[in-house]
C-alpha cells in the first residue's frame, strides 16, 4: 500500500474569471491533495474542471489571462509566480484531444519534446524517452508517426510526452473523451500504473464514472465553479441524488444498489453480486425509476422497462417497423491509399428503426454510413435508399432523404447566426421561405436555442453546437437520420439531451434513426437494434440484449457491455439494460419466490 504523505496541492478560496467574462469560472474553491493520491474531478461541461486543471500548472493565468484570487500552492511553488515552463517539470497536463498535443514526427520525438525544451542533454533525453515509452506500453512504436497511431496509442503518447518531464503530479483533463472503448481501457490502465507503480499524484478529470469509482482515492464533483460534493468514492457515490443534480451520471452499480436498498454502496459488479447473494438488501416495494421518478413497471421479455427518459416520462410506444429504407448488398470500399475499409457489408434498415452501429475505431462504421447519402461511392456492391439504387444520384439529392450529422459540430456549422444555420439546408433543397421560417422557429424551440437565434454558432457551448448541428439536418426533414458519434466530448446531461431529442423524432415523427456510438450506456438506453462492425464487416446484429448476451462478439468488436448487463448476466443468465430493469426483475423474482414459499 502506498503511504500517503505530505500535501502536494493546496488551493485556498480560489476564484478565477476569464478576461472579458463576467461569470466566475471558479468560485471560491478549496482543495488539498496529498502526494501519491489519485483524485477524480467530475462535473458537467462548463463547471470549471479544465480551469482548475490549468491553474495547477500556471497556464491560467500566465498563458490564458484573467483575474485569479486566492492562494494556489503546488509542490511548494505558486504557479502564477513560477511560470508555466518552470511548473512543467512538476505538473504535467494532458488534454482530451491527442491530435492537438502531439508535436513530434515520430513517437520518440514527441516524447523527447518536453525534456528537450528543458535543455536536458541528448543522453538524458534518450534515457527518459526509453523509460517512458516502456512505462506507457508503447514499445515497438518509437519510430511510428503519431497520426498513424490508434486513438488510445495517441493518448498514451501524449501522456508519455508529459511524463517524460518527470512531474510529480499528472493532471489529465478528460483524456478518454475522444477514444473508443479499447482506447479508454488503455488510458485507464496507464493511469492505474501512474498511481500504483510509479507513485505519481494524479488529478483525473473524467466523465467515465464507472472507471473512476474503483480508481480514485477521492472524488470532487464540480458544479458552476464550486465543489458540489467531495470525499472518498464511498462518500460521494452514496449521494446519487446530489450527483444527478450536479449533472453527473450515477454509475450503474451505485444506481442498482440504491434501487434495491443495498446495505452499503456497491462499487463494482463483484460488490453487487455479493450484495445479492448475501441478501444484504431490502426492497419492500417495486422500484421507482430514479430519473423519471415513476414506478418501474413489469419488465418486458426484452428486458426494457417502459419509462426511460427524464424528458419524456410517458412516451409513445415504439413505432411500428415498416418497409426497407436502406438496403446494402455486398458493399466493398477501398480508399485511394489502398486501405480496405469495407469488405462485403450486407445490411437492411427498415422504416421506424432506431439502430446503433457499434465497433472500435477503424471498424468501418463511418465509411459505411457515408455511403448512405453518397458522400462515398462503393468500390463494388449496391446501395438502395427508399428502394432506389444510389448509383448516379448526387449527395445533394440523397440528402433530402438521408440526413447526415457529422461527429464534430464545428465542421458542419458555417453560417453567421443560429437561425440562418437552421434555414441553410432547406433553402438549398428549394423549400419555400414561409415553410423554412416555420421550421426554424419550431426547431429553435425544440432544441432550446430560441434565445440564441441571432448568435454566431461558434459562441454556443459544445452541447448546444451539437444540438444545433443535429437540428440543422433535421430542418431538411429527411426520412432517415444518421448521427455519427453524437455524444463525443459531451457530458452526461448534454448526451441525454441529444439522445432524448432523437428519441422524440423517432417516436413522434416516425424518423428512422441510425447512430454511431462507442457508448454502450447510450446503446442500452435508446437503441432497439445494434449492428456490430469489425474489420469492415457486419459481425453481429440484434437487439441490445441479444448483442450484449454474446461476450465473444463484444470481444471481437473490442466493446465492453454496460455494468448492469454484466451483473444480470452473472446473476440470472439474462441481460438487462438498466439498473431499474434489473431491480424490477429482482423484485419480481423475490416476490414469486415468496409466493411459492407461502403456497
Partner 1 sequence: MIVEYESKPTFVHRLDPRVKLVWMVCVILVSVAWTHPLYLAALGLSVVAFGLVAKTPWAKLKGVASFMLVVAAIICLIQGATYSVNSVTLRDPERVLFHLVPGWVPGVNPLIPVRVGGFVYGIAMSLKIFIVLLAVAIFGYATSPSEMVQVIARIPFIPYQVGFVLSTAWKFVPVVQVQMRTLMDAHRSRGVDFEQGTFPQRVKKTSAIVLPLFANSLTMADTMALAMEARAFGHSKRFTFIRPYTMSTGDWAVLIASLGVAIACIVLMVTSRLGAI
Written in H, E and C, the secondary structure of 484-525 is ECCCCCCCHHHHHHHHHHHHHHHHHHCCEEEEECCCHHHHHH
Span 11-40, contacts to partner 1 by CB under 8 A? none
Smallest gap from Cβ 513 to partner 1, in A, equals 16
Long-range interactions of 285-288: CB distance < 8 A, separation 24+: 286/584, 286/587, 287/259, 287/260, 287/580, 287/583, 287/584, 287/587, 288/259
**Residue (265 or 357) nearer to partner 1, CB:** 357
Interface with partner 1, residue 92, by CB under 8 A: yes
Interface with partner 1, residue 368, by CB under 8 A: no
Stretch that binds partner 1, among 121-129, 205-213, 252-260, 270-278 (CB under 8 A): 121-129
**Residue (133 or 276) nearer to partner 1, CB:** 133
| 93 vs 64: CA distance, rounded Å | 15
Stretch that binds partner 1, among 106-114, 191-199, 263-271, 534-542 (CB under 8 A): 106-114
Rounded alpha-carbon distances, angstroms, from residue 225 to 14, 17, 73, 222, 493: 10, 10, 19, 6, 17
Place of cell 455519427: 484
Interface with partner 1, residue 323, by CB under 8 A: no
Closest CA to 351 of 390, 374, 324: 324
**Residue (197 or 410) nearer to partner 1, CB:** 410
Interface with partner 1, residue 163, by CB under 8 A: no
Smallest gap from Cβ 401 to partner 1, in A, equals 12
Interface with partner 1, residue 337, by CB under 8 A: no
Smallest gap from Cβ 422 to partner 1, in A, equals 11
For the beta sheet containing 380-385, the strands, ordered from the edge strand earlier in sequence to the opposite edge, are 340-350, 324-334, 380-385, 388-389
Cell numbers representing residue 435 in the block: 415553410
Rounded alpha-carbon distances, angstroms, from residue 263 to 237, 272, 276, 287, 538: 14, 11, 11, 16, 44
- Helix, strand and coil content of the chain, in percent to the nearest 5, comes to 40, 20, 40
Closest CA to 193 of 135, 151, 152, 141: 135
Residue-wise burial string across 234-254, b where 16 or more C-beta atoms lie within 10 A, e elsewhere: eebbbbbeebbebbbbbbbbb
Interface with partner 1, residue 89, by CB under 8 A: yes
- Considering only 147, 245, 377, 593, the residue that binds partner 1 (CB under 8 A) is 147
- Considering only 8, 120, 291, 586, the residue that binds partner 1 (CB under 8 A) is 120
Smallest gap from Cβ 50 to partner 1, in A, equals 10
- Considering only 3, 20, 22, 121, the residue that binds partner 1 (CB under 8 A) is 121
- Considering only 44, 403, 489, 562, the residue that binds partner 1 (CB under 8 A) is 403
Give the per-residue contact string, 427-456, with partner 1 (x = CB under 8 A; - = no): -xx---------------------------
> Three-state DSSP class for 403?
strand
Cell numbers representing residue 491 in the block: 457530458
**Residue (429 or 539) nearer to partner 1, CB:** 429
C-beta of residue 479 within 8 angstroms of C-beta of residue 511: yes
Residue 63 DSSP symbol: T
**Residue (95 or 548) nearer to partner 1, CB:** 95
Written in H, E and C, the secondary structure of 118-144 is CCCCHHHHHHHHHHHHHHCCCCCCCCC
- Considering only 33, 68, 136, 165, the residue that binds partner 1 (CB under 8 A) is 165
- Considering only 143, 245, 388, 589, the residue that binds partner 1 (CB under 8 A) is 143
Give the per-residue contact string, 463-492, with partner 1 (x = CB under 8 A; - = no): ---------xx--x----------------
C-beta of residue 111 within 8 angstroms of C-beta of residue 102: no
Interface with partner 1, residue 68, by CB under 8 A: no
For helices 418-428 and 433-446, the axis angle rounded to 10 degrees is: 140
Count other Cβ atoms within 10 Å, centred on residue 91: 28
**Residue (412 or 497) nearer to partner 1, CB:** 412
- Considering only 7, 97, 270, 441, the residue that binds partner 1 (CB under 8 A) is 97
Give the per-residue contact string, 244-283, with partner 1 (x = CB under 8 A; - = no): ----------------------------------------
**Residue (400 or 522) nearer to partner 1, CB:** 400
Closest CA to 261 of 231, 288, 282: 282
Smallest gap from Cβ 469 to partner 1, in A, equals 9
Interface with partner 1, residue 100, by CB under 8 A: yes
Q: Which residues bind partner 1 (CB under 8 A)?
A: 54, 57, 59, 62-64, 84-86, 88-89, 92-93, 95, 97, 99-101, 103-106, 109, 112-122, 125, 143, 147, 161-162, 165, 370, 373, 375, 394-396, 399-400, 403-404, 406, 408, 410-414, 424-425, 428-429, 458, 472-473, 476
Amino acid at each position: 500500500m502506498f503511504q500517503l504523505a505530505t500535501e502536494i496541492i493546496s488551493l485556498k478560496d480560489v476564484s478565477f474569471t476569464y478576461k472579458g467574462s463576467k461569470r466566475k469560472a471558479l468560485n471560491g474553491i478549496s482543495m488539498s491533495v496529498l502526494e501519491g493520491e489519485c483524485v477524480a474531478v467530475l462535473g458537467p461541461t462548463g463547471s470549471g474542471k479544465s480551469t482548475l486543471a490549468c491553474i495547477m500548472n500556471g497556464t491560467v493565468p500566465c498563458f490564458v489571462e484573467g483575474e485569479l484570487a486566492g492562494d494556489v500552492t503546488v509542490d511548494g511553488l505558486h504557479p502564477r509566480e513560477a511560470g508555466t515552463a518552470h511548473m512543467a517539470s512538476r505538473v504535467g497536463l494532458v488534454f482530451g484531444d491527442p491530435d492537438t498535443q502531439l508535436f513530434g514526427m515520430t513517437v520518440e520525438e514527441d516524447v523527447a519534446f518536453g525534456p528537450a525544451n528543458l535543455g536536458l542533454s541528448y543522453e538524458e533525453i534518450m534515457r527518459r524517452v526509453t523509460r517512458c515509452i516502456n512505462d506507457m506500453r508503447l514499445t515497438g512504436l518509437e519510430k511510428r508517426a503519431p497520426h498513424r497511431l490508434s486513438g488510445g496509442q495517441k493518448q498514451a503518447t501524449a501522456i508519455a510526452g508529459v511524463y517524460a518531464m518527470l512531474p510529480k503530479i499528472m493532471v489529465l483533463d478528460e483524456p478518454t473523451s475522444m477514444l473508443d472503448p479499447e482506447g479508454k481501457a488503455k488510458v485507464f490502465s496507464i493511469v492505474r500504473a501512474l498511481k500504483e507503480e510509479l507513485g505519481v499524484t494524479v488529478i483525473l478529470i473524467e466523465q467515465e464514472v464507472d472507471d473512476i469509482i474503483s480508481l480514485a482515492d477521492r472524488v470532487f464533483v464540480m458544479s458552476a465553479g464550486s465543489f458540489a460534493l467531495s470525499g472518498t468514492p464511498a462518500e460521494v457515490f452514496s449521494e446519487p441524488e446530489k450527483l444527478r443534480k450536479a449533472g453527473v451520471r450515477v454509475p450503474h452499480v451505485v444506481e442498482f444498489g440504491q434501487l434495491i436498498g443495498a446495505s452499503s454502496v456497491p462499487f463494482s459488479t463483484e460488490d453487487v453480486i455479493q450484495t445479492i447473494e448475501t441478501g444484504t438488501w431490502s426492497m419492500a416495494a417495486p422500484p421507482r425509476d430514479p430519473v423519471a421518478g415513476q414506478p418501474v413497471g413489469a419488465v418486458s421479455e426484452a428486458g426494457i422497462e417502459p419509462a426511460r427518459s427524464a424528458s419524456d416520462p410517458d412516451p409513445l410506444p415504439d413505432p411500428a417497423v415498416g418497409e426497407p429504407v436502406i438496403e446494402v448488398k455486398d458493399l466493398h470500399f477501398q480508399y485511394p491509399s489502398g486501405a480496405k475499409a469495407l469488405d462485403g457489408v450486407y445490411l437492411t434498415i427498415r422504416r421506424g428503426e432506431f439502430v446503433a452501429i457499434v465497433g472500435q475505431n477503424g471498424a468501418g462504421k463511418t465509411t459505411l454510413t457515408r455511403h448512405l447519402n453518397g458522400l462515398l461511392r462503393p468500390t463494388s456492391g449496391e446501395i438502395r435508399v427508399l428502394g432506389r439504387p444510389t448509383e448516379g444520384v448526387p449527395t445533394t439529392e440523397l440528402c433530402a432523404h438521408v440526413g447526415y450529422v457529422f461527429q464534430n459540430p464545428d465542421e458542419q456549422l458555417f453560417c453567421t447566426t443560429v437561425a440562418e444555420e437552421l434555414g441553410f439546408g432547406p433553402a438549398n433543397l428549394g423549400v419555400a421561405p414561409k415553410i423554412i421560417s416555420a421550421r426554424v422557429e419550431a426547431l429553435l424551440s425544440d432544441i432550446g436555442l430560441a434565445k440564441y437565434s441571432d448568435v454566431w454558432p461558434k459562441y454556443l457551448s459544445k452541447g448546444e453546437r451539437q444540438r444545433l448541428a443535429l437540428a440543422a439536418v433535421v430542418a431538411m426533414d429527411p426520412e432517415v437520420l444518421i448521427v455519427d458519434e453524437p455524444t463525443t466530448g459531451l457530458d452526461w446531461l448534454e448526451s441525454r439531451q441529444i439522445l432524448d431529442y432523437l428519441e422524440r423524432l423517432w417516436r413522434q415523427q416516425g424518423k428512422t434513426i441510425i447512430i454511431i456510438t462507442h457508448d454502450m450506456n447510450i446503446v442500452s438506453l435508446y437503441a432497439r437494434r445494434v449492428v456490430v462492425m469489425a474489420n469492415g464487416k457486419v459481425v453481429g446484429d440484434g437487439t441490445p440484449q441479444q448483442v450484449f448476451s454474446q461476450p465473444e462478439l463484444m470481444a471481437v468488436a473490442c466493446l465492453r457491455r454496460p455494468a448492469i448487463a454484466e451483473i444480470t448476466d452473472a446473476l440470472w443468465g439474462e441481460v438487462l439494460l438498466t439498473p431499474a430493469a434489473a431491480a424490477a426483475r429482482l423484485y419480481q423474482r423475490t416476490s414469486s419466490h415468496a409466493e411459492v414459499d407461502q403456497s
